[in-house]
Structure 1
Amino acid sequence: MSRIRGGRAVALAMLAALTLAVTGCATEEPAPTATGGQPAASGGAGTMKEGLKIAFLPKQVNNPYFDASDNKGGKVAVEEFKGVYSQTGPSEASPSAQVSYINTLSQQGTDVIVVSANDKDAICGALNEARQAGAKVITYDSDTNPTCRDLFINQASAEGIAASQIKLISEAVGPDGGEIAILSATANATNQNAWIEMMKTELAKPENSKLKLVDTVYGDDDDQKSFQEAQGLLAKHPDLKGIISPTTVGVAAAARYLSGSEYKGKVQLTGLGTPNQMRAFVKDDTVKSFALWNPSDLGYLAAYTGGALASGMITGKEGDKFTAGKLGEYTVGKDGTVLLGDPFVFTKDNIDDFDF
């Protein structure tokens, strides 16, 4: 749940951040360099091909997080390099539902499919069929098995997110520590599971010995279910001191529950959320701090990466360099990953500086 461009210098550099756990890259022969394209938009050879059809397939549509990443980030990038943008996907976070959309995009001759996976393996067959049909596959936010995609846009390292989340809940709970719980998204979400495992590693460190993880529950990125799961945690664990919800839907739902309950101020909450979702809860002291990368930057980077790959400007191998418009130069890392940046923490002091 950060590199921001908007005139606020302090946050600009940092907000490019937070994100997932992933690995892997399947290298394919680069497409021939297009002629007659726009001037080179990359540090690599060649030019960005015009008219590329780039489709974003989020975990679910009508989700504020993916609206920011796709429509306010990816769309802007695609329009900059004169491609054709679209967003499509299920209304509920379901792996099986994503398969049919992948098949349709492949049949439509989509050049680049940018997908946030609801399950790392369930959509692999459909994605590989799309790749065989000529599409480049870029994962973002939540990765697939590396054999199913070309590159992964990692909003932040799993280690970075986990360390940030444990640090924030520790600071919020205070030096005496106590019982904490995790309210996650879906049980199969690649990114969520990677972060949770890394959080357990962080909790095993001596400096975090006073924090005890007593439960992990799943709200399926559904507002009402996440609200009920937060309520259930407090009923089940009356001594609970803190909740970590590393999902934008979950953290907002948990904050809504706590803000109107007897637990406000007694049970601390942090997670990954957007400023617009969390502003009221930070200002009324339900939440002291939370973190996120800039989702619009994530979508923007994903679009430029897909465009560069589909244009033959990069092949996807480790060490490939390209320029992602206003975000600057990026390098393909190990296992076909491109890292957006580092975690950014939002508090009452800075939350009004951001609007997304």
Structure 2
Amino acid sequence: MTHIDDLFDIGTSTWLDDLSRERITSGNLTQVINEKSIVGVTTNPSIFAAAMSKGNAYDEQITALKEARSAVDDAVYAMSIDDVRDACDAFTGIYESTGGKDGRVSIEVDPRVSADYDATLAQAKELWAKVDRPNVMIKIPATDESLPAITDALAEGISVNVTLIFSVDRYLQVVKAFKEGIAKAAENGHDVSTIHSVASFFVSRMDTEVDKRLEALGTDEALALRGKAGIANARLAYAEFLDAFPGDLPAGANPQRPLWASTGVKNPEYPKAMYVTELAGPETVNTMPEGTIDAFLAEGGLHGDTLTGTADDAREVFSQLEKVGIDIADVVKVLETEGVDKFVASWSELLESMESRLR
């Protein structure tokens, strides 16, 4: 038993926020599953950019793709899809033993099309078909334009990881899109019990942006609020989750679980597992970089369910932030724009690097 097993007993599944060809072929992924109680994996453009820019694990496939004169976008997705498919196979046992709830591996649509409904939906369907594993999840960002694509992907029977959520208001839109999608899936004759979804709420990025503004204010009242916004924001979202589910879902449908993303601590002054111990609760997922996993395994610090019944305290945190002059709506606007832009930048850098290797 590990601290992660204890976390699982509270109701939070731990997914690894990282994947690479080397991690798979070396046996490391199997090792972290067996030794660290990891029950899923998430990926994003930044993760694949880092994986494909290091070592020589992809050299053989790059040579084959070069000989086939593959377009750079096709080549990058071919390598990503192979990694995700192999990771899905590694998690098959967990997927089956949890009834599809865990054992999931996520792959993201091209962030450059996040403002294009048609392109987003088309790529979600393409990735679902090409990975061809029941335990894959297709990540779609929660942008205004992509919300209808989330609904329609679910309606096609696709399991969806909705990513880049920074506000409770946006989360409520995601819940609405999910419920509409599951209802359509049932109408379309899909077995809704096989469709799973998570709503990825980003945590540490909220603190990074709010803390910067608090430090600029510099008052004692402002500085005392550092490191509190991210957790309070997630706890308010969790309260909305409890209100929304199970709710009016078709028979046999699964609730869309909240997923805590961006849980690596950015400020070294904060406890390394802060976004784990303070966001533990039933029906949730926490996707962590391995450094956070290792810190939590070493230090623990769990003190039960830290989500249920915390909404009033979380609202008080936001009331105090407003009083000292923090414009949360503007914070969210900045984070939503930066969230997509950062993934686009990582993807573009990867494409440029891969183009030179292919040509």
Settle same-fold status: TM greater than 0.5. no
**Which structure features the higher share of helix residues?**
2
Q: More relative contact order in 1 or in 2 (CA 8 Å, sep 6+)?
A: 1
Normalised by the size of structure 2, how large is the TM-score? 0.30
**Which structure features the higher share of strand residues?**
1
